Structures are given as structure tokens and as C-alpha cells.
């Protein structure tokens, strides 16, 4: 059984990267296609309303991750009665959340003309309301699947979970392109997304019922379970709110202060840093069930430290390559992706992904906090830092425009994720952060050297002459980067891992 779970985690991680690759390609392709078919203003409207609906997503109240954590705990303890109670109570809670979400959404629907009437063209107000209603329906559909998502993840069925998502990612773009060719509007995009999400929910429900044998048996209401879930759920809820502050408030403030086109520029940068985040989550996202079991089985601090460093090093290799590569090739990449005239996107992206790297290479620590049920500390820190982000962005957007909003978010992440959380990891969670950062600093020397060399050499290559020159240059750059890291920094596990990848790619014999 443990070997099967190990296979699920390994294949699930590979599928996560396949999903990430597909998602990245689709997202990168979406931007120029949507800009071409529906225009900058309509694209900005779509992203503006998307950033608003993202705030409604926090009404999940952190239940999704909480259900997964407690399902794993009760399965480890082999307590079927509590599993049944947890599932049925969670479903009841989600029905209640859906009703609340609908009421709040309808109120906001009627407020749209008053909130954005000064910055949006009058002809776009009606379109904005229709798009908002469809996005709200999208969210309700996704909420309906969260309990079943938790069941699938707690059973560590990552292969199925990632595969169906990958299938959606690959098929949905063709349907959207076909729709916007006939009806070129943001409303068409959201309509197709809604249809695909409904189908995905049905598939997950059928899988849980037929394959996993999930049965919803009501065994009464158990306040003990609710109280046990409360701290983690509320903490997740608060963190989710602040996450939206980080990733959506700038677009909302820009929409109110500068209009839809400025939102479009910021949204282009957001496509890059969201994919950057997903790369890190592809590994750590499969580890929560394992870490929860480790906590339940009272594993030692040394075991958590080993996992923290092991995953952190792997994430750093990949993320630092992307960050370094964007510094070197970013302008040429944007030239081919969205065309000229988007130089601000380069600056915005670096202001965010640089500080964000600190958090992403340590996100195993967040999974440990969830498993230990101390996530409320993260919530308190994020409330303080998120408030700072909004205040700074509000004033800095007036003073410095779009760059001001990105700078506010970057500085807030340095203080929250880089300083406060690291102190907590070191002092309270007994993770040896000083040793961790010594290791990362040693690895970063290669990154810095390759970046500096790239900045010096690239001006002698005309990357804008052909996209093939850019692609070849990026591949050579990645080869040199990983080659140097392998020779200088890879440990035994990392060498074995890289060898297995090379063998599978048929670049090395067994």
C-alpha cells in the first residue's frame, strides 16, 4: 500500500508538472489571442472581474484543505464513523456557503454600475454584470466539488486528480478559441469555462462513488469535529483573504484609479507570477497527506527538517533558473509573447517574483503548519502584512502608477515571508532556518554567476531576429545552469533524481 502511495506521489508530481506545462502554454497563448480577438479593454474587463470574483472564493472559509487534513488523520486512526460525519457535515456547510455566496454576489451585481461607473465605458457596464454572473456560477460549481476533491487527495489518488485537470486544460482552449471566433467577447470565454467546470465536477463525483466507494452516510452532527476543524479552517480562511489582497487588490485598485487598460498590463504580469507559483506548488501540493501522517505518527523534528531542506533545494534549482532566465531573456520573451509596448510588465514581474521566491522554496513549511494545526500564526502574520500591502499600494499607485502597486506587494512579501515567517520557523517550529539559508546561499552563487554572464553575453545576440534563436539560447542557458549546479552543488539524491530524468528522456543510458 505504501508503495502505491509513493507511486501516486511520484507520478502525481510528474503529472503536476505536465499540468503546469500545459497550463503555462495555454495561459501564455491566451493573452495574445484574447488581446487580438476581444481587445485590450475587454481583456482588462475580464481580468478585473476575475480579480473581484477571486475575493468570493475565500468564502470557502478554508474548508477544502481542512477536510483533507482531517480525512487523512481519521483514516490513519481507522475511525470510519468520524470520516462519515466529516464528509456529510462538510457537504452541509458547503450548501450553506453556496447560499451565502449567492446572496453576496447578487448584492455586488447591482453595485457594479456605482463602483466602476467612473472608469468603465457605459457600454461595458451591462457586459460586466453578465460576466460577473457567469463567473459567480463558475465559483458555485467549483465549490460543489471541493468535498470530493478532498476525498481524492486524502486517498492520494493524484494520478486521476491531475489527469482530469490536464485533460480539461488541453481541451478547453480549443473550445474557447472556436467560441470567440464566432462571438468575440469576454462573456464567451467565461461561458465555455463554466461548461467545462460542470463536466469536471460530474466526473469527480462519479469517480468517488464508483472507484473509491465513497458513500455519504449521515451519522448526526458532531460538534467535537467542528471544534477540532475550527482553528485550522479559520486560519486558512484568513490566509485566503490575505492571499487575495496580495494577488487581486492591485488590479482592483488599478481598475478604480486608472481604468481597464492598466488592469490589462498588470494582468499580463500576473500570468507570469501565477505560473511561477504553480511550479513550486506542483511538488509540495502532493505532500500534505504524507506530512499529516508524519504528524499523526509523531515523527521527529529532524525528519521534518530533512524534508523541508530536500524539497526546498529542488524548488530553488528550478525557480532560480526561471528567475535568472527572465532577468536575461525577459524583454525578448515579452516581445514575442505580447508584442512591444509592454516594458512595464518586465519590471512588475521582477518586483513580485523576486521576493516571492523566498516563500515558494519554503512552502513545505506551510504544509507542516497545516498538519500541526498551527496555521493561525500564518494568518496573523498575513493580516498585518496584507494590510501594509493595501495601504502602500493605495498611495503608491497614485504616486508611481502600476509600478507602485507591484513594489508594495514585493516589499510586503519580503517582510512577511522573508523575515517574520523565517523567525517563526526557526524559533517555534524547530526548523533549522539558518542552515537552510546557508545551503540556499551556496546554491545561489551559481545562479548569480550564470545570470551575470548571461546579461553580459546576450546583447551580442540578436534575439528579436527569430524566435528560434531565442528558444535555442534559452535551452543552452538552462543546460549550462543545470550542468554547473550538478557539478558543483548536487548531492547524491539530486544526482540520482537527475539521472533518472535523463534516462527517461533517453539522454543517458541506464
Q: Report which DSSP code applies to 489.
A: T
Domain-located, residue 74: yes
- State pTM to two decimals: 0.66
The reply to whether 421 falls in a domain is no
pLDDT tens for each residue of the chain, 510 residues long: 444 555 555 665 666 667 667 767 776 776 777 777 777 677 777 777 766 665 565 566 556 667 777 777 777 777 788 888 888 888 887 778 778 878 888 888 888 787 776 666 777 777 778 888 888 887 777 777 777 887 887 777 777 877 887 788 788 888 888 888 888 777 788 888 888 888 888 888 888 888 887 777 777 777 777 776 666 666 666 666 666 666 667 777 777 777 667 777 787 887 788 778 877 776 655 555 567 667 667 777 777 788 888 888 888 998 999 999 999 998 888 888 777 777 788 888 899 888 888 888 888 787 777 767 677 787 788 778 888 888 898 888 888 888 888 888 889 888 888 888 898 888 888 888 899 999 999 999 999 999 999 999 988 888 888 888 988 999 999 999 999 999 999 888 888 877 776 666 556 665
183-189: Cβ within 8 A, 24+ apart:
184/37, 184/38, 185/38, 185/42, 185/127, 186/34, 186/38, 186/42, 186/43, 186/45, 186/46, 186/49, 186/127, 186/131, 187/127, 187/130, 187/131, 187/134, 189/34, 189/38, 189/46
| Structural domain contains residue 115 | yes
Range of the domain at 118: 1-248
- Give the whole-angstrom CA distance, residue 363 versus residue 421: 11
CB–CB of 503/509 below 8 Å? yes
Question: What are the DSSP calls for 319-345, one per residue?
Answer: HHHHHHHHHHHHHHHHHHHT-SS-HHH
Contacts of 244 (CB under 8 A, 6+ apart): 54, 55, 57, 58
Phi then psi dihedrals of residue 338, to 5 deg: -120, 0
C-alpha cell at 287: 505532500
Within-domain flag for 219 = yes
Give the total number of structural domains in the chain.
Answer: 1
Phi/psi of residue 220, nearest 5 degrees: 95, 170
3-state secondary structure of 183: coil
Instruction: Please state, in angstroms and rounded to a whole number, the distance separating the CA atoms of residues 248 and 326.
Output: 23
CB 283 within 8 A of CB 314: yes
Does the residue 420 lie in any domain? no
Cα 132 from Cα 195, distance rounded (Å): 16
Nearest-angstrom CA–CA distance, 185 and 432: 52
Task: With CA atoms as reference, report the closest residue to 48 among 147, 124, 122.
Answer: 124
> Is 357 a member of any domain?
no
Q: Judge whether 61 lies within some domain.
A: yes
Residue 388 lies in a domain: no
Amino acid at each position: 500500500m505504501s508503495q502505491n502511495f509513493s507511486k501516486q506521489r511520484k507520478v502525481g508530481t510528474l503529472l503536476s508538472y505536465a499540468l503546469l506545462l500545459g497550463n503555462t502554454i495555454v495561459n501564455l497563448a491566451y493573452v495574445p489571442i484574447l488581446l487580438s480577438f476581444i481587445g485590450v479593454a475587454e481583456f482588462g474587463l475580464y481580468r478585473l472581474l476575475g480579480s473581484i470574483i477571486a475575493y468570493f472564493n475565500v468564502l470557502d472559509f478554508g474548508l477544502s484543505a481542512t477536510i483533507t487534513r482531517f480525512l487523512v488523520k481519521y483514516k490513519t486512526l481507522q475511525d470510519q464513523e468520524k470520516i462519515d460525519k466529516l464528509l456529510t457535515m462538510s457537504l452541509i456547510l458547503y450548501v450553506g456557503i453556496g447560499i451565502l455566496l449567492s446572496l453576496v454576489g447578487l448584492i455586488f451585481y447591482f453595485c457594479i454600475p456605482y463602483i466602476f461607473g467612473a472608469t468603465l465605458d457605459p457600454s461595458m457596464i451591462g457586459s460586466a454584470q453578465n460576466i460577473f454572473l457567469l463567473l459567480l456560477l463558475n465559483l458555485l460549481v467549483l465549490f460543489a466539488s471541493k468535498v470530493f476533491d478532498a476525498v481524492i487527495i486524502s486517498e492520494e489518488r493524484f494520478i486521476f486528480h491531475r489527469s482530469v485537470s490536464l485533460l480539461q486544460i488541453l481541451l478547453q482552449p480549443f473550445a474557447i478559441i472556436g467560441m470567440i471566433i464566432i462571438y468575440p467577447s469576454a462573456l464567451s470565454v467565461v461561458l465555455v469555462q463554466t461548461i467545462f467546470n460542470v463536466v469536471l465536477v460530474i466526473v469527480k463525483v462519479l469517480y468517488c462513488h464508483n472507484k473509491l466507494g465513497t458513500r455519504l452516510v449521515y451519522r448526526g452532527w458532531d460538534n467535537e469535529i467542528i471544534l477540532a476543524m475550527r482553528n485550522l479552517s479559520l486560519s486558512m480562511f484568513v490566509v485566503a483573504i490575505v492571499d487575495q489582497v496580495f494577488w487581486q487588490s492591485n488590479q482592483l485598485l488599478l481598475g478604480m484609479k486608472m481604468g481597464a487598460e492598466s488592469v490589462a498590463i498588470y494582468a499580463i504580469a500576473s500570468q507570469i507570477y501565477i505560473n511561477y507559483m504553480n511550479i513550486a506548488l506542483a511538488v509540495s501540493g502532493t505532500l500534505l497527506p504524507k506530512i499529516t501522517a508524519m504528524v499523526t505518527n509523531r515523527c521527529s523534528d529532524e525528519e521534518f527538517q530533512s524534508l523541508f531542506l530536500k524539497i526546498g533545494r529542488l524548488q530553488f534549482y528550478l525557480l532560480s533558473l526561471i528567475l535568472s532566465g527572465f532577468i536575461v531573456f525577459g524583454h525578448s520573451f515579452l516581445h514575442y509573447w505580447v508584442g512591444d509596448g509592454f516594458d512595464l510588465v518586465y519590471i512588475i514581474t521582477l518586483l513580485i517574483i523576486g521576493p516571492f521566491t523566498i516563500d515558494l522554496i519554503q512552502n513545505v513549511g506551510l504544509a507542516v503548519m497545516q498538519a500541526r494545526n498551527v496555521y493561525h500564526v500564518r494568518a496573523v502574520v498575513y493580516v498585518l502584512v496584507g494590510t501594509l500591502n493595501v495601504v502602500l499600494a493605495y498611495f503608491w499607485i497614485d504616486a508611481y502608477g502600476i509600478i507602485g502597486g507591484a513594489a508594495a506587494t514585493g516589499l510586503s512579501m519580503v517582510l512577511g515571508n522573508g523575515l517574520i515567517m523565517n523567525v517563526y520557523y526557526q524559533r517555534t517550529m524547530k526548523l533549522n532556518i539558518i542552515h537552510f539559508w546557508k545551503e540556499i546561499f551556496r546554491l545561489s552563487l551559481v545562479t548569480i554567476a550564470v545570470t551575470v554572464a548571461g546579461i553580459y553575453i546576450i546583447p551580442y545576440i540578436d534575439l528579436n531576429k527569430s524566435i528560434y534563436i531565442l528558444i535555442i539560447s534559452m535551452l543552452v542557458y538552462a543546460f549550462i545552469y543545470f550542468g554547473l549546479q550538478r557539478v558543483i552543488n548536487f548531492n547524491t539524491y539530486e544526482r540520482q533524481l537527475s539521472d533518472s530524468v535523463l534516462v527517461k528522456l533517453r539522454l543517458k543510458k541506464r
